Copies of this chain bind each other. A is one copy, B any other.
Amino acid sequence: MTSILVVGSLAYDDVRTPVDAREMVLGGAASYFAMAASRYAPVRLVGVVGDDFREADVVRLAARKVDLAGLERRKGRSFRWTGVYDFVNDTAETVNTDLGVFGDWRPTVPSAFADSDYVFLANIHPEIQLATLEQIRKPKVVALDTMNYWIEHARDQLVEVMKRVDVVSINEGEARQLCETFKIAKAAREILALGPRVLVVKRGEHGATLYTKDAAFYAPAFPLEETVDPTGAGDTFAGGLLGYLAEHGGEDGSATLRRAVLHGAVCASFAVERFSVDGIEAATREAIERRYEMLLELMAV
């Protein structure tokens, strides 16, 4: 059966939002991604945690049938991230980052995972993304996420890895920064010219836009009356998107891609409704489908 491989961080987050605050809750790109994608297809995870990582959190991932054969446990601290959100000014401030064992980690893809068809390279140094990609035999779809830090400090390497992937998933601000233009449509053309078939520009509460060489597609965000914690929204989005693509592996048409983006938006809506991975962890496939249908109604002309 088609498997999805995710390579990225598992973390403990201290998060404060206007709604409330949490300490030492499960976070990290790979956690969010896996919780979402596993609603669609089996997920394989490659990551690293320290000896402070709680067995209960391993169990939560295992309960979603996430294959943890690629989870390294090392002496030291797990990745810790401390952040504060301001919803009015739409900002996320990183108060502290303690990379812990994640800092000098170089992912090793277990040989049993090398045949993965769908791959998500979560945010990490682009050189590491490239080195990881080279350990995978013949993936059908490789998706990449990144962050402003790498655009500023490792731009050339980032462009190199972008040339090698199928799907680039970045947020609006990053697209502008990468292409040094205010206009997203222009940035999209430049990024697609590098090589990826698909670009997804995430626009937070405004949704996401899918760009391919020939077309674009505007997906609204699923409307929520309250956002509790935006952490992990992008990675959860990627999980829904890649999960849906993997589930519909045969079809590679535009309609599948569009539906996949909407599934990403729906998964992200569950993630931000609660702290940590709690929201997406609790979302059944039936609940996802219900929101998907509601999203279609919001777009019907």
A residues lining the B interface (CB < 8 Å): 18, 87-88, 182-186, 203, 205-207, 209, 215-218, 220, 223-227, 255, 258-259, 262, 296-301
Contacts and interface: CB of A to CB of B under 8 A. Distances in A.
Contacts of A185: 223-225
A218 B215 contact: no
Copies of this protein chain in the complex: 2
A262 to B, nearest CB: 7
B223 A216 contact: yes
B297 A225 contact: no
Given A183-B225, A223-B185, A223-B216, A259 B299 contact: no
Contacts of A184: 205, 223
A93 B299 CA distance: 33
A80 B203 CA distance: 36
Contacts of A209: 220
B215 A297 contact: yes
Contacts of A205: 184
Contacts of A300: 217, 258
21 contacts: A18-B182, A88-B182, A183-B225, A185-B223, A185-B224, A185-B225, A186-B225, A186-B226, A203-B206, A207-B218, A209-B220, A216-B298, A218-B218, A218-B298, A218-B299, A258-B300, A258-B301, A259-B301, A262-B301, A299-B299, A299-B301
